[in-house]
Structure formats: C-alpha cells, structure tokens
C-alpha cells in the first residue's frame, strides 16, 4: 500500500506540475508598433514558431527603421540568418545583463542550431561595459561590439525576455551567403543525405517536377533514407499502380515551408501534396523534447536530420516510409477491454487490419493529381494591441497560454482523488 501511495502522489505532482505557461512572441510584439517589421519577419521566416517552441529564450529586437534597412539590402534567407543571431537560448533580463560574471560571456543563439555556423559564428558576445552600458557582438575573434542594449521590452520571468538593442549583430560572412536558387539541386542534396532510393522513385514517377514547382513558393520534403525502404513491413512498391505510387511519394511533402520549429508547434493534422479533400492524406505531428515524429495513422516516422533549411525550401530525412491510411488502411489496435479486470494478455484485433504488403491498395482509390497552384503564404503577424493592452494582467493573458486542456485538468483531479482514497 505504501508503494501505491507514493506512485499516486508522484503522478499527481507530475500532472499538476505540467500546468505551465507558454509564450507567444507574435502576440507579445503586436503590443509594440515600433517592432512590427521585426515581428513580421519572424512570422515570414517561421522563427516565431521556433521561439514559441522553446521554454527559455531571449529575443533581441530591433526597431522598424533598422529592420527595414536590413531587409531592403538582403534576401529573406539572409534576413532569417541575421535574426537567428538575435535569439539567445538563455534568459537575460536587465538585472542579469548587469551581473555577468567577469563582465563578459558568450551566449548560444538559434543560428548555432542550424548546422550552418562554423566555429563561434552562432554565438554572441555579451559584455557589461563601463557606465552601465551593455554591448553585443559576434563571438568570432576580432569582432566588435557594434550593438548596445537600450531597454527592456517585456519579460515572462525565466521563460522569455524581450530586450531592445540599437543595431543588428552581424557575424562574419553571414551577409554574403548566397540567396537560395530557384533551381536547387534537390536530387543532389537527397543523394548526399543517403536517400538514393527516394530520389529514383520521385525521378521515375515525375514527382520531382512537382517538388521543383512547389519549391518556388514553399516546400517541405520528408525523405525516407535508403534503409527505410528495406525495413520489415514496407509494402512491395512494384505492386502499386503508378497513381498510387505518385500519391505515396507526394504524401512525403508539404506545400509550405515548414521548418522543424514550426513542426514542433503544430497541433492540428497537416495537409500534404497528396491531399485531395478534407481529411485526406494528412499527417499528425508528435513531439518529445526536440524530437519530432510524424504519424500517418498507419505508420510513424521520426524526423532524423535536416538536409536543407533555406526559405522557402526545407528538406528532412526520416527513418521510416510514411504509409497513408488511404492506401494501406488503419493501423491494427488491441481489442477493447470489457472491464478493468480483463487480462492484459488479451490478444489484438483479428488480422483483417494486418499491414501485409501484398495488393493492399484498393483499386477504387483514386490518388490526387499533382497540385497546379502555389501554396498560400504563411499567416500574417497579429494585429496591434487592444485598448487595454497596457493593463499588465490583460497583457499577460495575451502573452501566456495555458497548455493543458479541460481533459488534462479532469485527469489531474481524478488522480488526486485516487491518491486521497488510497491514503
């Protein structure tokens, strides 16, 4: 009984402890018109999703004039890289800035996580200067502290801090990065990433041309590696009709630019290039920390690595082939229990839902034709503040979103009651 009491108490504490506040950088910055350009580019580049998916972060904002000047001279891909340097993976407020140990420190930025930052390019030097000033600059040796802290904008303690600086932080070489070309060698990138089987399939079926057309406006590809096609349970693709094979391959792509940060904040099912009607050929996303898993309803696949993340094209490798339920049916599920006393050794449902490859695709299923129109642009930044935005309680209500649902709250209450009964 003592062990059971402890178990129930631990579960109760964990359930209650999961009631945490999440932040929304778009909502926060919408209260400050002077940062509307910065806010807009966070949304266009999907950096806002990356910010919202992290628990502890500091955003160094720039006013409209500074951002407009930067954006007028450089493509969106470069603007994204520069803004990534202004997102620190740590919490800094006014007090912490002026209490830096030894007067200087290096902070990791979001740019460091892209894999495109050799050496210290993805780090920022923060130095507490004389006279109460704080300077910011690239951590690359020889770089100057060209940016200065001007004021604190908004804090949700130890969750997110927004600070204003007067000039952009520029790392060596970041402004000269080439703009993404409309004719990116998708097959070359995929072959180098170990996805030769996928490359052959999209080339032979003509799906590659669909990808290339979609990439002009926005495309995300989930490419299974070569080992994924050899795994047990993968159907014999030679038994699929051409239309079914095209649908399967298009199922591995989205008609939008959706980097990993955006995937981590996705709650609803997402449409794929194979989507042909409501609820058809969609995917759901599951996250655990920094890990992202895609679920087709029949199979799951982990996002293994990022091959390319350059607006408006994103390419990932995945470790399993995604099998849509529209072609292969639903995943087998255990038989339902009749009562709590039913033996846990109950056998699963009959083999009618078995993922046996054979001739699984139904002949009457009609996969969609390749898309003929470009995807729509991402959502625009939210509107300006409401009349009572200066009220701190109302402001925090906008900035913070309670994560758990009513179902979660009910579950927590039930666990607490069970714990009390056991005691």
- In this predicted structure, the answer to whether residue 126 has a pLDDT above a threshold of 70 is yes
Question: Long-range contact list for 109-114, CB < 8 A, 24+ apart?
Answer: 109/84, 109/85, 110/47, 110/50, 110/51, 110/84, 110/85, 111/81, 111/84, 111/85, 111/87, 111/171, 113/89, 114/81, 114/84, 114/306, 114/309
5-9, 37-41, 42-46, 66-70: least confident range: 5-9
Domain boundary among 178, 200, 235: 178
Angle at 80 between CA 74 and CA 85, to 5 degrees: 110
- Judge whether 215 lies within some domain: yes
Domain boundary among 160, 178, 196: 178
Residues 253-267 as b/e (b if ≥16 CB within 10 A, e otherwise) read bbbbbbbbbbbbbbe
Q: Which residues contact 270 (CB under 8 A, 6 or more apart)?
A: 254, 258, 282, 283, 284, 285
Percent with pLDDT over 70 in the chain: 70
Tokens representing residue 50 in the block: 């990356």
Residue whose C-alpha is closest to residue 320's, from 299, 306, 305, 298: 299
Residues 178-193 as b/e (b if ≥16 CB within 10 A, e otherwise) read eebeeebebbebbeeb
Residues 202 and 106 in one domain: no
Per-residue confidence (pLDDT) for residue 412, from 0 to 100: 53
- Judge whether 274 lies within some domain: yes
Domain boundary among 353, 382, 412: 353
Task: Grade residue 279 by pLDDT with cuts at 50, 70 and 90.
Answer: low
Per-residue confidence (pLDDT) for residue 118, from 0 to 100: 79
- Judge whether 394 lies within some domain: no
Full DSSP string of 374-406: PPPPPPPPP----TTTTSHHHHHHHHEEE---H
- Judge whether 397 lies within some domain: no
Instruction: Specify which residues 127 forms β-bridges with.
Output: 104, 135
Residues 199 and 252 in one domain: yes
Q: d(Cα 162, Cα 264) in Å, to the nearest integer? A: 22
Per-residue confidence (pLDDT) for residue 119, from 0 to 100: 83
Residues 122 and 32 in one domain: yes
Residue whose C-alpha is closest to residue 292's, from 262, 272, 270: 262
Residues 69 and 92 in one domain: yes
Residues 106 and 229 in one domain: no
Per-residue confidence (pLDDT) for residue 243, from 0 to 100: 93
Q: What CATH code is carried by the domain that includes residue 316?
A: 2.30.180.10
Residues 28 and 173 in one domain: yes
Count: domains in the chain: 3
- Judge whether 247 lies within some domain: yes
Residues 162 and 260 in one domain: no
The per-residue pLDDT for range 97-116, each reduced to its tens digit, is 999 988 999 999 999 988 77
150-159, 260-269, 366-375: least confident range: 366-375
Q: d(Cα 149, Cα 162) in Å, to the nearest integer? A: 11
- Judge whether 225 lies within some domain: yes
The per-residue pLDDT for range 365-380, each reduced to its tens digit, is 444 444 444 444 444 4
Residues 327 and 191 in one domain: yes
Task: Grade residue 131 by pLDDT with cuts at 50, 70 and 90.
Answer: confident
Can you give the length of the chain in residues? 423
Torsion angle of alpha carbons 98, 27, 165, 96, nearest 10°? 10
Average pLDDT over residues 161-177: 93
**Averaged pLDDT of the chain:** 79
Q: d(Cα 11, Cα 5) in Å, to the nearest integer? A: 10
Residues 156 and 194 in one domain: no
Q: Whole domain around residue 240: which residue ranges?
A: 186-335+347-353
Per-residue confidence (pLDDT) for residue 348, from 0 to 100: 43
The per-residue pLDDT for range 235-260, each reduced to its tens digit, is 999 999 999 999 999 999 999 999 99
- Judge whether 10 lies within some domain: yes
Q: Which residues contact 69 (CB under 8 A, 6 or more apart)?
A: none
Tokens representing residue 329 in the block: 């049916």
The per-residue pLDDT for range 298-345, each reduced to its tens digit, is 999 999 999 998 888 999 999 999 999 999 876 555 444 444 444 444
Per-residue confidence (pLDDT) for residue 278, from 0 to 100: 59
Residues 71 and 201 in one domain: no
- In this predicted structure, the answer to whether residue 20 has a pLDDT above a threshold of 50 is no
61 preceded by a cis bond (ω within 30 of 0): no
Residues 79 and 169 in one domain: yes
Tokens representing residue 303 in the block: 């996002």
């Amino acid at each position: 009984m003592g062990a059971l009491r402890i178990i129930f108490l631990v579960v109760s504490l964990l359930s209650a402890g999961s009631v945490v506040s999440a932040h929304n950088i778009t909502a926060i910055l919408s209260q400050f018109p002077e940062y509307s350009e910065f806010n807009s580019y966070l949304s266009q580049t999907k950096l806002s999703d990356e910010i919202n998916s992290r628990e502890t972060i500091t955003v160094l904002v720039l006013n409209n004039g500074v951002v407009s000047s930067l954006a007028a001279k450089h493509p969106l891909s470069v603007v994204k890289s520069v803004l990534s340097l202004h997102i620190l993976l740590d919490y800094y407020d006014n007090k912490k800035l002026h209490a830096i140990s030894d007067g200087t420190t290096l902070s990791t930025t979001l740019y460091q996580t892209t894999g495109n930052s050799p050496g210290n390019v993805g780090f920022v030097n923060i130095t507490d200067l004389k006279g109460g000033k704080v300077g910011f600059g690239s951590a690359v040796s020889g770089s100057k502290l060209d940016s200065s802290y001007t004021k604190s904008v908004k804090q949700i303690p130890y969750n997110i801090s927004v600070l204003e600086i007067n000039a952009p932080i520029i790392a060596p070489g970041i402004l000269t990065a080439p703009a993404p070309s409309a004719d990116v060698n998708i097959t070359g990138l995929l072959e180098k990433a170990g996805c030769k089987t996928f490359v052959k399939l999209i080339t032979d079926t003509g799906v590659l041309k669909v990808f290339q057309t979609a990439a002009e406006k926005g495309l995300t590809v989930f490419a299974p590696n070569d080992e994924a096609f050899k795994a047990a349970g993968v159907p014999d693709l030679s038994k699929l009709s051409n239309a079914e094979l095209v649908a399967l391959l298009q199922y591995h792509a989205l008609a939008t630019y959706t980097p990993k940060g955006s995937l981590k904040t996705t709650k609803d099912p997402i449409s794929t290039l194979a989507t042909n009607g409501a609820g058809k050929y969609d995917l759901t996303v599951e996250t655990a920390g920094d890990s992202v898993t895609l679920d087709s309803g029949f199979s799951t696949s982990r996002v293994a690595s990022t091959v390319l993340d350059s607006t408006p094209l994103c390419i990932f490798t995945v470790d399993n082939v995604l099998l849509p339920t529209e072609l292969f049916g639903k995943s087998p599920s255990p038989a339902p229990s009749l009562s709590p006393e039913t033996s846990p050794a109950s056998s699963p449902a009959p083999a009618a839902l078995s993922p046996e490859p054979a001739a699984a695709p139904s002949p009457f299923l009609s996969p969609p034709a390749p898309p003929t129109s470009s995807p729509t642009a991402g959502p625009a930044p939210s509107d300006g503040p409401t009349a009572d935005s200066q009220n701190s309680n109302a402001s925090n209500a906008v900035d913070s979103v309670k994560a758990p649902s009513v179902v979660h709250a009910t579950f927590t209450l039930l666990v607490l009651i069970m714990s009390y009964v056991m005691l």
